[in-house]
Amino acid sequence: MSYRLHLLTSVASIFLLSAPAFAQKNKLEIKVGSHCVMQQSDFGLSTNQRTWNANARVVAVSKKQRITEDYTMLIGKRSHCHNEGVEQTFSLVNAQNDTLLVVLRNYKDGVAFRYVLPQIRKDEELMQEFTAYRLPLGANRWMQEYDRQGYEHFFPLNNTGISPESARINQWGYPALVQIDANNYMLISESDIVRNQCGSWISNSMQNLNKY
pLDDT at 54: 67
Q: For residue 108, name the pLDDT band (cuts at 50, 70, 90).
A: confident
Mean pLDDT of 66-87: 89
Torsion sign over Cα 113, 3, 89, 98: negative
**Backbone angles phi and psi of 10, in degrees to 5:** -135, 150
Respond yes or no on whether the N-terminal peptide bond of residue 175 is cis (omega within 30° of 0): yes
Question: How do residues 3-49 score in pLDDT, each as one tens digit?
Answer: 444 443 344 444 544 444 333 456 677 777 666 777 767 778 899 99
Helices (H) and strands (E) in the chain, counts: 0, 17
Q: In terms of Cα–Cα distance, which of 10, 28, 17 is closest to 112?
A: 28
| CA 187/CA 142 separation, integer angstroms | 10
Residue type at 66 in one-letter notation:
R
